[in-house]
Amino acid sequence: MVHIATGSPAYRKTLLSMLLGSIVTFAILYSPQTLIGPFAEQFHISPSSASLVISVSTLTLAVCMVFISVLSNAWGRKSIMVVSLFMTSVLAIVSSFSHNFHLLLVLRFLEGISLSGFPAIAMTYLNEEIAPGSIGKVMGAYVGGNAIGGFAGRVIVSLLSDLFNWHIGLLALGLFSLGCSVAFWILLPKSQNFRPVSISFGHWIEGFRSGLTNRKLLTLYAVAFLLLGGYVTLFNYIAYPLSRPPYGLSQSVIGCLFVFQLVGSWSSFFFGRLADRHSRPALIGLGVAMSIAGAALTLLGELWLTIAGIILFAFGFFAGHTVASGWVGKIAPAPHKAYASSLYLLFYYLGSSLLGTTGGSFLSAYEWPGVVGLICGLLALVAVLAAALAGGRSARIHPSQQKV
């Protein structure tokens, strides 16, 4: 196999392409997060119901990724990712013209289907094309794009919603995403190590059986479910305490506070490199400890402490997710990497959908302290799972074990 070497022009194009693809995907997926409050007021619905604009997309995305991974084995990696990004951008533009909550949910449902093509394939593409010793660093770039995309989507929509309205915000985001999709199509190198496999129910069963019978992979799926569930819960509802006393912040200011999520991109690069040399369970545990501390800081009623908490929480989350997602590709056998990656992301986004909506019930019943209690409980379970993973042979990848 011919892998993309670190520092080569193809390597730099791959890094930039994955960054752009992540920005499009996660900007559109999470851009309505700062609008949950305005949606609840405009459409006269509860916070839990308003949060469905996020949950319906993540749930649909999670389910569709299972099938997309099968199609990618027959149709190729790049083509599916390109179609995914273009369709998502167009649907985002169309959704900006919606004036009915149910129609908006239908369009977000369709966006979930189109969104599934990029994250379902990206990790598999990287594990196939990038030299094994550089996977951690490149995975860090991919996950770092998640943070940048999440920030860009929220800020664009928040600022334009305050200046004009949320329709203009979603329209601008859709046009921006369309431009990024064109750049992705041009820059991403074609697959060199992809070997097409005919679509077969037998291959499908074999691939998912492999992914569902490996205990380490099952544990990582649970880690993904709990990690993103806690992360989305915090950012779905943090606008509620920030928009009320003692803070009383405007929608624009709240959106700009998401700039602190960008520390997640640096965390992804940093922990991605560490994962190639150090114990993965220990790194996941460290990320969890930082996130729990960050969530606790948001309870203290001081704006600067809340900001510090958001920074620490995001840093810890992206650390844990980078390490866990990169580990899946190391554990899964070569013929079944796409299936293992799609299963990881299935549980990842199921956590976002189910636990993110559950957080709204905790907010209504126990206010912000109840939401923080839920988040800390979820993260404590991640720490237990990381401890269970400790000591395994796959916990650390030594240079002598890498195949070039």
361-382: pLDDT as tens digits: 899 899 999 999 999 999 999 9
Res 181: pLDDT: 96
Which residue type is seen at 201? F
| pLDDT, averaged across the chain | 85
Alpha carbon of 342 to those of 122, 124, 139, 238, 395: distances in Å? 10, 9, 15, 29, 21
291 occurs within a structural domain: yes
pLDDT tens digits for range 212-235: 889 999 999 999 999 999 998 998
Q: What percent of the chain has pLDDT over 90?
A: 38
307 occurs within a structural domain: yes
Alpha carbon of 364 to those of 219, 229, 355, 360: distances in Å? 31, 18, 15, 6
271 occurs within a structural domain: yes
Report the 3 state secondary structure along 215-258. HHHHHHHHHHHHHHHHHHHHHHHCHHHHCCCCCCCCHHHHHHHH
220 occurs within a structural domain: yes
20 occurs within a structural domain: yes
* Residue 191 phi, psi dihedral angles, 5° rounding: -65, 130
pLDDT tens digits for range 326-360: 888 788 877 677 778 878 888 988 898 889 888 88
**Residue range 248-274: mean pLDDT, rounded:** 77
Q: What is the dihedral of CA 292, 297, 299, 301, to 10 degrees?
A: -170
Is 235:30 a contact under the CB 8 Å cutoff?
Answer: yes
Residue 76 pLDDT > 90, yes or no? Answer: no
Whichever domain contains 235, its CATH number is 1.20.1250.20
* Residue 191, token pair as written in the block: 């697959």
Which residue type is seen at 177? S
Number of domains in the chain: 1
- Maximum alpha-carbon separation in the chain: 60
Res 297: pLDDT: 96
4 occurs within a structural domain: no
pLDDT tens digits for range 106-120: 999 999 999 988 987
Is 144:266 a contact under the CB 8 Å cutoff?
Answer: yes
Residue 281 pLDDT > 80, yes or no? Answer: yes
Please state, in angstroms and rounded to a whole number, the distance separating the CA atoms of residues 60 and 56: 6
Res 186: pLDDT: 95
Res 267: pLDDT: 82
* Residue 163 belongs to domain spanning: 9-190+208-393
Helices and strands of the chain, counted as H and E runs? 17, 0
pTM (two decimals): 0.74
Residue 15 pLDDT > 80, yes or no? Answer: yes
404 occurs within a structural domain: no
398 occurs within a structural domain: no
